[in-house]
Every structure is written in structure tokens, then in C-alpha cells.
Amino acid sequence: VAKLCVCDLLVAQCDINCCCDPDCSAEDFSLFTTCSVPVVTGDSQLCHQKAAVYSLDVEANPPERIFKIIDQVNPSIFCIHATNYKQAMYLKSPEIPTSENFDQLLAKFGGATFSAEPDSWNLDTDAQNPPDVNETYRYEYGVPVQTEDAFLRLPSPVVSSWCSDVNPAGFLVNQATKCIRSVNVEKCDSIQALSMLFYINSSILAVPKSSQMVNITVQSIVVQSQNGMRTLLSDVLRLPMVLDGLCINAVLGVNYHITHTDTGEIIEAAAAFVLGAISKEALSIEQSFEISFTQENTQPVPLSGNPGYVVGLPVRAGFRPQGYPFPAAFLFAALALCSNKHSQLTILQSTSTQDCLAAQGARAPVLFGYNMISGCKLRITAAMKCQPLAQTLLDVLKGQSFPEYVASFGDSQAQDVLDWVPITQLHISEQMISNTLQSSCQIPVSLGIEVKWTKYGSLVNPQAKIVNVTATIITTTLKQLPSGRERIIPITSSVVFTDISSPAEPGYKAWPTINIKLPFDFFYPFV
Amino acid sequence: LSSLPLQILLYVNGIYYIFYFLATLAMIIYKSQVFSYPDDLLAPDLAVLFLMAILEVPRLYLGFKGNLTEAEAPLGLSLGLTVGSVLLCVYLLLWQTYVLWADVLLNAVLLSAYGLESGLKVTAIAAFVS
């Protein structure tokens, strides 16, 4: 104990205020103020042990260090009197690597984390533990889709924008990627990644580690010409070849559609190709890949959350068709068919031309949680008539089919009428002054959609629920222009998401009640 | 004539042994939680304790019976069993994995009781034989 010193950190130098440091001389001790380590003992649980006590005598001039070894007694009746187990008092010494245990130690401690590697990445597990005949494997979410030689590849950019072919597609993970591939047009028929065969030649295993194969069928082939026009062709296999200095039938995009059962088996796989021609000067082309999973016998309706909306997913909306009284009947097919991409809640998308009348049709879906503002400029000439202009602007702002109802949860079913929130429409006129005649023409200049949402559910996992949607159209009077003059007015549309959730109330479980009842004959002799 | 001190001592020993057994078991449990007590060292200690408990019952019964009926055979058998109990007690006093101060006290009291008992049994046997 006299030789132990916890504060002796510097070798061959005196540590400040370390009274047990052997490198310190008497002059150093006289400069100390306190002792950082006053007592050094062994395990304090022992009944008797030696302790080294260091203290500074500040009364003396110069101050000197006092070092005593005393017997420390643990007064507890449970102090350790003796122990026959030597290792109890010492720290465990680590295993020294030798040539026998080196491999095992390396496997255990050699990686970035001290845990075994997941089996799904190791294709040799069959050799180590032969699969049980009765055990069935199923695909689970995120597990790479296996093919007969490796994995189903979905080339995607890794680190940089260049295509990497070793990215596996995960089961039930819908992905869309774009990446750049470098090409040499003279040798384009030998570049594997440009030919259709590369993407469909290996068949997919229906379940992992089985021998059931699912061939990838060619669903459709679309040929894209140089100026972007696409033509649908028959699905005959077309291989790339060099023709007139162009490389034709090169794969520009692949879209995989995988159908699966609800138990995790893949039953069908189809690929839709976009082929194109690459000119001689091109050194690289951009390829786009997409994969989507559908369960058999269902219509794919993309959910925007389960149940609460997920930030970034589109807000689902739909119509109530005529003739259905609210809330009496169910609306199944009607709302379901209508809540597809074409009647989503959309907002005007700003284009580079910024001209409202030229940009009709470009709309962006409203994504939950993302406030958006967009706009365009409208050039008004004297010759324009007000009423048709107002109608056109309304179409530009609202789109072709502005929905009437918005789903309050990301997974609201069409049948549940109460899960859909009606869109409240407000019209506000910019000039509310009384001298403006009501009959003068008003044109809409701004559409503001305010979506009020609240947090619903438990405190640790709140779900977003849309409570109220208000679409406000602000109109202004169109003043007649003198002929020949023109005016440019800005048209804006915006979407704002406001969180109106009330603060959470903690809910506690009820106190357990103690139900004690004495048996009725408890006081037997006396009753 | 039956030895009264031996009888008293046997009776007190029975009561003390129950307390001793429970206390030692509780302390072994405490030690296994607080200290590092690997299973291959815990097993022998528990085995010794339970073996001692199993030996104690016939030992005390034979002692009572021999003393009250003034027969030397049961008393002699009880003396033999006492030797075994003494050995186990010495193990728990000296060679346990962790010997706490409370362990030392309990075992010392038990050992002294055994010693005194053995002496009284020998005198009783001598008295009965003659």
C-alpha cells in the first residue's frame, strides 16, 4: 500500500498536490496546498487492512508531508475476515493471444463492434448449419431479395453519383434511384449494364435459401428517342448494338414490380424497360431504377403513414361522389378509386417560365409537414375578358380536380367516412371597401391552404392527425386597362401546416386496489 | 442417571442450529450478490452447509434418545456424527470462499458447543457403561 499512488501520472516528474508521488522532494512538498489523495487502501470490505495516510502539516514552516501507515478496521459485522479465492481481490486479467486462440479472439474483438455478424449476409451459412427441412424461411422487411447467384441488384449511387452494381434491393423497400454510368459507345454491346439481359437473367428465389425460382418477365419495353419521345414496343428482347455511330437499345431505366404474398413469399417479378440511344460523343449516361412491391390480390394504395401522417408523404385526399348521403352509407369503391394520384391535394408548381397561362398542368403534391409557397406571374392585357380569366386562374390555382375531403390519418380507409375531413373553402375579397360594387369582376390572385393538425395517441409515439383543412381564395378586382397597356400581377399559392396539438396530459395507471376480505367464519368461535 | 447438562446443551444446540443454518444461508446469498462468487465455488459451500443440516438431525435425535434411555449405543453414534459435523464446521470457518466476521462468530460458537457436547457425551457414556 505504501507503494501505490493513484495521482502519480507524470513519469520522473513531480505531480502537483500528489503527496504519495515518489518523484517529489521535500522542497516540492513545501509548495503543495493540499493532498489530492489522502488515503490509499486496498479493498475497504476487509476487516483489517493497512492504509497509507498522507497529509500536509501546514503549521510547520516550510510545510512538510506526513506519511503514516495505519491499520484500518472495518467495524461492520459483514466485513471479509478471510478469503480463499485469490481472484476476488484483483481485476480480471485479459486473455493473452496465442497462436491457438488468435482466430477466435480476432473474430470476437476484431471488428468495429464486438458483436457477431448477422447471418443474412453470410451466404455460407448453409455449410455451417445445414437447413432444417421443416424450417421455412420467409422474406422480412429489409432483407435483401436473393437470386440464384447473389442478390437482386438495384444500381444506385454510392458516395458519388456513379452507379454501383452491388446495392441489393430490400424486400418491401420501395426505392427509386438515379445514377450515372460511364460508357464507351464503340464497345457498348459488350457493356453488361447497358443490356436488358443483365437485369433479367438471374431468377429470384421465392423464399430465401430455397430452390423455388421466380423468373423475371419483361413487362414492357419503351424506347425513348433523342428528343425524349417515348414509344411502347413489343416485349421482345433487344440487345444493344452500334448503328450509325449511335448505340441503340441501351438500357436507360428499369422498373421492377415484385408481387408477393402476405406471408413473405415472392410469386411474380416483372421488369419494365426504357431503352434509348446513346450518341458517340456521350461519355456517360444517366440510368434510373425503381422497384416496387405489391401484395397479391390487392390494389396498391400508397399509405402516407400508419396511422399518423409521416412528414414528407403526400396528403391523401378524395371526393365524395354525388348521390351518397353523409354519413349514412359507406363509400367504398367511390372514395377508393378517387383517392389515387390524380385527385391528390396538389399545389401549383412554379416553373422556370413563371407564366401562369403557359404553365397549366404542372402541379406538385402537397407533402405533409412541408410548408410550400409557389406562384406565377399573370400578364393582363386590355383585351382580356374578366370572367374567363377568373375561371382560368381558378383552374391554375386549384388544379383540375380539387378534392373535397382530406384523410385525417395516413391510412384512412375509404369506407370510414368519419376519418375524412372536409375542406372548408373561404373566399375573401381583397378590397372590402363599400364603394366597390359587388358586380364588378373579381379574379382570384391567391390560394392559401391551411392544414391544422394535432398530435394524437401516446406521448412517446405521437401520431399526426389532420383536423381541419381550409382553402382560402383571395380575390381582387380587375380594373380595366386602357388599351395597349398591360399589367403583370403575381399569383401565389401556399400551403401551411399548423400544429394545434394541446399539451400532453400524462395518464397514469390506476393505483392498485387491495381487496382484502376476511372469510365469513374468521371469528368462528365468537360468531 | 441421564446427564442433565447434556440434555440442556442438546436442546439449546437444536435451537441455535436452526438460527445458524438460516443465518449462514442468508449470508451466502448476500455474498453471492455483493462479491464475485463464481458458480464452481458457490456449489461446494452450499453443499457443505446442507450436508451439515442433514447430519445434524439424526445427531441430535440420537443424542436425545441415548441420553434419556441411558443407552450408550445411540450416544456413541451421535458422537461419531458429531465428528463429521465438527469437520464441516471447520470447513465453513476456515476454507469457505469468503469468510465474514459474522461467519467467524457463528462458527466459533457452534464449534464450542460441539466441543462441550462431545465432552459431556463421553462422560455420559462412561457413566452408562459402568
- Coil, strand or helix: which one is B67? helix
Domain ranges of chain B: 4-129
Chain A nearest-CA distance from B105, in A, is 9
Going by C-alpha positions, the residue among A105, A84, A86, A107 that lies closest to residue A94 is: A105
The whole-number pLDDT of residue A330 equals 39
Q: Average pLDDT in the A160-180 region?
A: 85
| Cβ-based contacts of A80 with chain B (< 8 Å) | 35, 98-100
Q: What pLDDT is attached to residue A438?
A: 54
One-letter identity of residue A272: A
Q: Per-residue confidence at A431, pLDDT binned at 50, 70, 90?
A: low
Provide the pLDDT confidence category of residue A119 given band limits of 50, 70 and 90: very low
Cell of A145: 431479395
- The residue count of chain B comes to 130
Asked whether the beta carbons of residue B101 and residue A85 sit closer than 8 angstroms, the reply is: no
- Closest CB from A45, A77, A85 relative to B97: A85
Higher per-residue pLDDT: B64 or A458 = B64
The per-residue pLDDT for A359 is 62
Helix axes B39-69, B72-94, angle to 10 degrees: 150
- What is the β-pairing status of strands A486-499 and A442-457? parallel
Tens-place pLDDT, residues A199-224: 888 888 888 877 788 888 888 888 88
pLDDT band of A343, cuts 50, 70, 90 = low
Whole-angstrom distance, CA of residue A230 vs CA of residue A272:
13
* Residue A271, CA distances (Å) to A143, A196, B67, B73 in order: 20, 10, 99, 97
Concatenated DSSP letters of B20-42: HHHHHHHHHHHHHHHS---HHHH
Q: Cα–Cα distance between B88 and B44 in angstroms, integer? A: 11
DSSP state letter for B4: H
Judged by average pLDDT, the poorest of A140-154, A229-243, B23-37 is A229-243
Of B119, B118, B123, B105, nearest in space to B16 by CA: B105
What letter would DSSP give residue B73? H
**Chain A residue whose CA is closest to B98:** A83
Contacts of B96 in chain A (CB under 8 A): 84
pLDDT of residue A333: 40
A-chain residues within 8 Å CB-CB of B39? Answer: none
Q: How many CA atoms lie within 13 A of B116 on its CB side?
A: 14
**DSSP 3-state assignment of A64?**
strand
**Mutation site for A-interface testing, chosen from B24, B35, B91, B92 by largest number of A Cβ within 10 Å:** B35
Residues of B in contact with A87 (CB under 8 A): 36
With an 8 Å Cβ cutoff, is B109 touching chain A? no
- Place A126 in a pLDDT band, splitting at 50, 70 and 90: very low
pLDDT in tens, B69-127: 988 899 999 999 999 999 999 999 999 888 999 999 999 999 999 999 999 999 999 88
Q: What percent of chain A has pLDDT over 90?
A: 6
As a three-state string, the secondary structure of A16-38 is CCCCCCCCCCHHHHHHCCCCCCC
> Is B101's Cβ below 8 Å from some Cβ in A?
yes
Contact B99 A88 (CB under 8 A): no
Q: How confident is the model at residue A144 (pLDDT cuts 50, 70, 90)?
A: confident
Question: Can you give the pLDDT at residue A125?
Answer: 42
Q: Which helix (H) or strand (E) holds A214?
A: strand A213-214
pLDDT of residue A335: 45
Contacts of A378 (CB under 8 A, 6+ apart): A355, A356, A357, A393, A488, A489, A490, A491
Q: What is the pLDDT of residue A331?
A: 42
Q: Given pLDDT bands bounded at 50, 70 and 90, which one contains residue A323?
A: low
**pLDDT of B74:** 92
Which of A76, A85, A90 to probe the B interface (max B CBs under 10 A)?
Answer: A85
Q: Which of A12-16, A176-180, A486-490, A505-509 has the lowest mean pLDDT?
A: A505-509
In this model, does residue A174 exceed pLDDT 90?
no
Query: Between vectors from CA A176 to CA A173 and to CA A180, what angle results, nearest 5°?
Result: 135
- Contacts with A47 from chain B: Cβ below 8 Å: 101
Contact criterion met (CB < 8 Å) for A81 and B103: yes
Look up residue A397 and give its three cell numbers: 390555382
Residue A339 has pLDDT above 70, yes or no: no
φ, ψ of residue B26 in degrees (nearest 5): -65, -40
Q: Give the chain A residue nearest B100 (alpha carbons).
A: A80
Q: What is the pLDDT of residues A70-118, one digit of tens each?
A: 888 888 888 888 888 776 667 777 778 888 888 888 877 776 766 544 4
pLDDT of residue A328 exceeding 50: no
> Any chain A CB within 8 A of the CB of B36?
yes
Segment B98-113, tens digit of pLDDT: 899 999 999 999 999 9
- Partner residue opposite A80 with nearest CB, options B36, B94, B98: B98
Cα(B106)–Cα(A124) distance, integer angstroms: 61
Nearest CA in chain B to A91: B36
Identify the band that residue A129 occupies on the pLDDT scale cut at 50, 70 and 90. Answer: very low
Asked if B96 is an interface residue toward chain A (Cβ–Cβ < 8 A), one would say yes
Instruction: With H, G, I as helix, E, B as strand and everything else as coil, classify residue A125.
Output: helix
Task: Write out the three cell numbers for A458.
Answer: 401516446
Query: Which residues does A49 contact at the CB level (< 8 Å), separation at least 6?
Result: A1, A41, A42, A43, A71, A72, A74
Q: Of B119, B50, B48, which is closest to residue B82 (Cα–Cα)? A: B119
* Segment A443-468, tens digit of pLDDT: 888 999 999 999 988 888 889 999 99
pLDDT at A188 over 70: yes
- B102 interfaces chain A, CB cutoff of 8 Å: yes
The CB-side HSE value for A66 (13 A sphere, CA atoms) comes to 11
Does the distance separating the beta carbons of A80 and B102 come in below 8 Å? no
| Closest Cβ–Cβ partner in A76, A82, A87 for B99 | A82
Query: Is the per-residue pLDDT at B15 higher than 90?
Result: yes
d(CA A189, CA A180): 18
- Candidate from A303-317, A323-337, B28-42 with smallest mean pLDDT: A323-337
> Which residue in B has a C-alpha nearest to residue A46's C-alpha?
B100
Of A267-271, A399-403, B117-121, the poorest mean pLDDT is in: A399-403
Question: At residue B57, what is the residue type?
Answer: V
pLDDT at B113: 94
Taking contacts as CB-CB distances below 8 angstroms, the residues of chain A near B97 are 83-85, 88
Q: What's the whole-number average pLDDT of chain B?
A: 92
User: Could you tell me how far CA A500 lies from the centroid of its own chain?
Assistant: 24
Within 8 A by CB and 6+ apart from A100, the residues are none
- Residue ranges of the alpha helices (H) in B4-100? 4-34, 39-69, 72-94
Which pTM value belongs to this model?
0.44
Confidence at A299, pLDDT banded by 50, 70, 90: low
Query: How far apart are alpha carbons A303 and A293 in whole angstroms?
Result: 13
For chains A and B, CB pairs below 8 A equal 41
Residue A333: its H or E element? helix A332-338
Task: Give the mean model confidence (pLDDT) for residues A406-424.
Answer: 84
C-alpha cell recorded at residue A98: 496465442
Segment A144-164 mean pLDDT:
84
- What's the mean pLDDT when you consider all of chain A? 79
The H or E element spanning position A80 is: strand A80-83
Rounded distance between C-alpha atoms, residue A370 and residue A244, angstroms? 49
Q: What is the mean pLDDT of residues B28-46?
A: 88
pLDDT at residue A127 in the model:
43
Give how far A44 is from chain B: nearest CA, Å: 13
User: Crossing angle of helices B101-129/B72-94, nearest 10°?
Assistant: 160
How many Å lie between the alpha carbon of A2 and the closest alpha carbon of chain B?
A: 26
**Contacts with A77 from chain B: Cβ below 8 Å:** 100-102, 105
